[in-house]
Amino acid sequence: MSAIVMRDVRRAFDVVKGSAWRMNRRVQQFEALRGVNLDVSKGELFGLLGPNGAGKTTTIKILTTLLVPTSGEVYLNGLDSVRNPDQVRSRIGYVFGGDKGLYDRLSARDNLRYFANLYRIAPGQQRRRINELLEMLSLTDRQNDRVETFSRGMKQRLHIARGLLHDPDIIYLDEPTNGLDPLAARDVRDIVRRLKHSGKTILLTTHYMFEAEDLCDRLAVIEGGRIIAEGTSKDLGALANAGPVVRAEVSGGGAQALCRALEDRADVVNCHLEPLSGRELVTIRFAAQTEVEASRVVGEAAAADTGVKLLDLQLREPTLEDKYVTLVSQSRDKESA
């Protein structure tokens, strides 16, 4: 059974062009979402990936009832979120993290007590629920300390506790490990896994591809207000027709010319140049190509440019990040064609 359903959801905003106080003022419509369709099963951990400005935030705001779609339908556990926003809000939790959303002068326990009152949790249940969450998120020892004394990782755990106070069926995690150190980020990922194993439905947004691949059952890539790919990491690789990735170390000052020559090829998705000490690293993402053929193409392109000396060449299988970059690049090429 589906926990989250979006059917042909669109959201347009009015954008003012020119000065609001002058005669040349013009109002244009910008479509942030252009027919989004999603279907997330109950108990699934679903990842929503996309570049900045692709429509992720607008999608999350609609799913959390903070925005009403211009058109389309949204159902959360069978409830129409537009017609029944209050009922939907009692069943969802939203964790956005960062420094906002908590009261620094209050203790961790007082923060949770305050938000429990907003959720209208009965006084008799509050103490038990808050104790459970403080224990679950390893905050019991610091429960009476002011939040202003907490590290960023501890604040993030408190954000999660706040989002779980009313025991929601669906949890939205908006970049929950953004800005955390590696140890704190690993702790948060462990918490996310435990929530999934407890049967919660989770929609996760993140810019960390390794995190998405590690945690999510399925993924969707949004670009330009549309879902351009959906499925497992393996499915995305097939949809992108992603080939091997070649990393070539070169010297001689002709790396930019080499990149331009390779990007003219139809089987090359993109070519990235990174300066190193005394040399340059060229990363080439191929589509629909074998490792042997990809090596030959790069070797011949380097040999054809007398200004480039090939020092080292390595190949690897495409990661989720490579598949994601390929899908977004292909989508943008189609839009501009």
Alpha-carbon distance 269 to 97, whole Å? 34
pLDDT bracket for residue 213 (50, 70, 90): very high
Write phi, then psi, for 85 (nearest 5 degrees): -65, -40
Alpha-carbon distance 73 to 78, whole Å? 11
Average confidence score pLDDT of the chain: 91
Range list for CATH 3.40.50.300 in the chain: 2-237
Q: List pLDDT tens digits, range 272-281.
A: 899 888 889 9
pLDDT bracket for residue 22 (50, 70, 90): low
14-23, 50-59, 85-94, 291-300, range with the lowest pLDDT? 14-23
The pLDDT of residue 236 is 93
Question: In the chain, pLDDT over 90 holds for what percent of residues?
Answer: 70
pLDDT bracket for residue 46 (50, 70, 90): very high
Alpha-carbon distance 136 to 138, whole Å? 6
104-113, 229-238, 302-311, 327-336, range with the lowest pLDDT? 302-311
pLDDT at 306 over 80: no
Instruction: List Cα–Cα distances, 98 to 177, 242, 330, in angstroms.
Output: 9, 35, 33
Alpha-carbon distance 63 to 205, whole Å? 13
CATH of domain 2-237: 3.40.50.300
The pLDDT of residue 87 is 93
Range list for CATH 3.30.70.1710 in the chain: 242-336
The pLDDT of residue 18 is 64
Q: List pLDDT tens digits, range 85-111.
A: 999 999 999 998 777 889 999 999 999
DSSP for 99-163, written as a single string = STTS-TTSBHHHHHHHHHHHTT--HHHHHHHHHHHHHHTT-GGGTTSBGGGS-HHHHHHHHHHHH
The pLDDT of residue 23 is 62
CATH-assigned architecture of domain 242-336: 2-Layer Sandwich (3.30)
How many Cβ atoms sit within 10 Å of the Cβ of residue 208? 16
Alpha-carbon distance 317 to 315, whole Å? 7
Alpha-carbon distance 258 to 271, whole Å? 9
Instruction: List Cα–Cα distances, 163 to 86, 91, 171, in angstroms.
Output: 16, 11, 8
pLDDT bracket for residue 16 (50, 70, 90): confident
Q: List pLDDT tens digits, range 132-143.
A: 999 999 999 999
pLDDT bracket for residue 149 (50, 70, 90): very high
List of long-range contacts for 147-153, beta carbons under 8 Å, 24+ apart:
147/102, 147/103, 147/104, 147/105, 147/106, 147/107, 147/108, 147/111, 148/104, 148/105, 150/108, 151/184, 152/179, 152/180, 152/181, 152/184, 153/180, 153/181, 153/183, 153/184, 153/185, 153/187, 153/188
Q: Quick check: helix, strand or coil at residue 222?
A: strand
48-57, 148-157, 288-297, range with the lowest pLDDT? 288-297
pLDDT at 48 over 70: yes
The pLDDT of residue 20 is 58
The sign of the CA dihedral 133, 139, 145, 151 is negative
The mean pLDDT of 128-154, rounded to a whole number, is 95
Alpha-carbon distance 297 to 300, whole Å? 5
pLDDT at 261 over 70: yes
Q: List pLDDT tens digits, range 159-195.
A: 999 999 999 999 999 999 988 899 999 999 999 999 9
Question: In the chain, pLDDT over 70 holds for what percent of residues?
Answer: 97
pTM over 0.75: yes
pLDDT at 218 over 80: yes
The mean pLDDT of 248-270, rounded to a whole number, is 88
